Amino acid sequence: MTSASNESPVLSVDDILGSNGRIARRLENYEPREQQLEMAAAVATALRDKKHLIAEAGTGTGKSFAYLVPAILQATANAGEKDAKPYRVVISTHTISLQEQLITKDIPLLNSVIPREFTAVLVKGRRNYLSLRRMRIAQERAKNMLQTDHDIDQLRDIIAWSKETVDGSLSDLAFKPNSTVWDEVGSDNTNCLGRNCDTYAKCFYYKARRRSQHAQILVVNHALFFSDLGLRQLGASILPNYDAVVLDEAHTIEDVASGHMGLRITSGQVDYILNKLYNDRTNKGLFVHEDMTDHQKLVDRCRYGAEEFFGDILQWMDSHGEGFNGRVRAKHIVENRLSSQLDQLATATRIAGNRIEGEDKRTEFISASDRLDVIASEVERWRAQSIDDSVYWIERTESRYGNPRVTLAASPIDVGMLLREQLFQQTKTVVLTSATLGTGKKESFKFFQDRIGLPQANTVRVGSPFDYQRQAKVVVVSGLPDPNAEKQSYERLCASMVEHFVKQTDGHAFALFTSYQTLRRVAARLAPALRAMNLGLLSQADGLPRGQLLDRFKQNPRSVLLGTDSFWQGVDVPGDALQNVIITKLPFVVPDQPLLQARMETIRKHGGSPFRDYQLPQAIIKFRQGFGRLIRTRSDSGIVVLLDPRVSSKPYGRDFLESLPECEIVRKSLGSIQ
């Protein structure tokens, strides 16, 4: 998207966002927000002075405009000047919904009112794009490569779609293809011919890449951003170089960065690449298509090696008893013949590919060889625990097909150190923003800054323009049993309390849980009572995707939606549909996962308190996110019900209440409700 004018007049954020600004002149009912202007001024200062900024902005501030406007003005400040160096800003979000809002609503509006030429693009990972060349090869090999008739039908539909799609990305496809089908047609750097490809001029990926190379504003998601950050340490990149970064929904970045700056190999990945070469059950694969029987035997040998290796891993897990959480503290826990077998197969595949005529066919073999090399290396890196200052663990998930899937994982314990070295010391300006970054009475950012490795930064905290005293009421219920010590009694009374408060608002309610098990049991207790009141019950434990659950709730707000982790944040239900948010339990992390254990051990090792220094502040941030689901616009109103008795009985309960905006707090005892 490009604006019409080539001018670069001197402009301030006030000229765009103020009461007499360009947006106010364009939109009839525009209401300037002092909180938005304050944040926008802080972002503009950080960009100008090349400083990092932490900006907490309450719900309703309009924080996307507060960072987009100064980012656009900074990126276009020198436009038209001779020898002006391009300035590029990356805007990264955690959720797809916010990405879509930025690229389809916010940026087009700003493009129409800011009298400067600029371009903004949504950047997606390469695997999102269709490769026309690979699609043609897949069509030729379909009978020997695709596993089912359904896969062949999907390929046929993709071919038809390729003739009419504009951007050639998965989001433009009307259905979600099987991974086995998309793996045959998706763009992939390991088998790309670049300028030598006869479809290069029409290539969807390279068209998108050219757009991003010339854009001043790049909109991405956190997963892509941190994947790119990891690649830059290896001399590669997904994104073009940039001058500044805005990380929206920044309260999530520690966990996202940990997941993308570590190591993750699954038994399914090994099965997948072996089946791509030769599937002994269906007699399909690259080696079948080229009639390479000796190579098929090599695949069989690797398959036996994989079964032996992952079987040994499972046996090692079983030897540690039922309560074992998968953490691996020692190196070389099992023997590894698999990596050498994969290396041999990789070499044989590469040699075979080099003998094949036709570059199209050859690249498929070279790509498979590269993938085998990477898996072989990663398996041994995990076994030898060769990544320093990381925690290693095993995950086991049951499969519908018999053998359980095994995941070998590793993550840096202190992601803050990596972010400090790889992001904050390398980038002129990083703006981190969210509605919830602070903890404690004075909303200190210390916890957040310590976790992400940014001890020094400009900071700004602007409140919400909403009138919480008028719009929201917090109901604190005391007298329930301790949810940890008396779990069964608590769950029984929790279901009773949810029923009571849901009846008050005739549905229109979210109930937020911290575990699927509790959610499932409370849902079973609630179901008869809700049926009697003719209220709908939507439960995340039923397996429906979050988006579908939300759509059903909006269609029938006389419902109760029971949700866990993903419903505490990033969910937006403005209007009358949601009038009641029930927080069943304070969202403390339970140190039963290896990464959390390792983080808390490190805090203890350095003389800190894992509860005070990690669990409590993290729970407060998530608690504030849960509270934030209720009021999304100036006209919203409702109640937030707190069912965890520790809010009243524990000294730290006050910290949770003090972290909320100024609003009415009503205390009720269990006896007065029953």
pLDDT at res. 401: 60
pLDDT at res. 3: 47
Query: Strand ranges (DSSP E) for 222-365?
Result: 244-247, 263-266, 327-328
pLDDT digits (tens, 9 = 90+) for 176-210: 898 889 988 998 877 788 888 888 889 998 998 88
Q: How many other C-beta atoms lie within 10 A of the C-beta of residue 156?
A: 12
Instruction: Classify domain 263-386 by CATH architecture.
Output: Up-down Bundle (1.20)
Distance, in Å, from the CA atom of 114 to the CA atom of 491, rounded to the nearest integer, reads: 55
Is 468-673 CATH 3.40.50.300? yes
Q: Which residues pair with 478 in a beta bridge?
A: 669
**If pLDDT is split at 50, 70 and 90, which confidence band does 501 have?**
very high
Any idea what the Cα angle at residue 479 is, between residues 473 and 481, rounded to 5°?
120
Distance, in Å, from the CA atom of 432 to the CA atom of 253, rounded to the nearest integer, reads: 9
pLDDT digits (tens, 9 = 90+) for 150-175: 999 999 999 999 999 988 999 889 88
Q: What is the three-class DSSP state of 549?
A: helix
**Cα→Cα distances 554→59, 95, 573, 626, Å:** 20, 19, 8, 18
CATH class of the 1-119+215-261+414-465 domain in this structure: alpha beta
- CA proximity to 100, closest of 255, 221, 2: 221
Q: Is the pLDDT of residue 4 over 80?
A: no
* Residue in the structure block whose two tokens are 């779609």: 161
What is the DSSP code string of 35-47? HHHHHHHHHHHHH
Q: What is the three-class DSSP state of 14?
A: helix
Q: Which two tokens stand for residue 516?
A: 């699927």
User: Residue type at 57?
Assistant: A
Q: Is the pLDDT of residue 375 over 70?
A: yes
Rounded to whole angstroms, the maximal C-alpha distance in the chain is 82
Q: What is the three-class DSSP state of 460?
A: strand
**If pLDDT is split at 50, 70 and 90, which confidence band does 605 have?**
very high
Same fold, 1-119+215-261+414-465 and 468-673: yes
pLDDT at res. 85: 79
Least confident of 128-142, 376-390, 437-451, 659-673: 437-451
Q: Is the pLDDT of residue 433 over 90?
A: yes
User: Residue type at 308?
Assistant: E
Distance, in Å, from the CA atom of 106 to the CA atom of 219, rounded to the nearest integer, reads: 12
Domains of the chain by residue range? 1-119+215-261+414-465, 263-386, 468-673
Q: Which two tokens stand for residue 551?
A: 């759509």
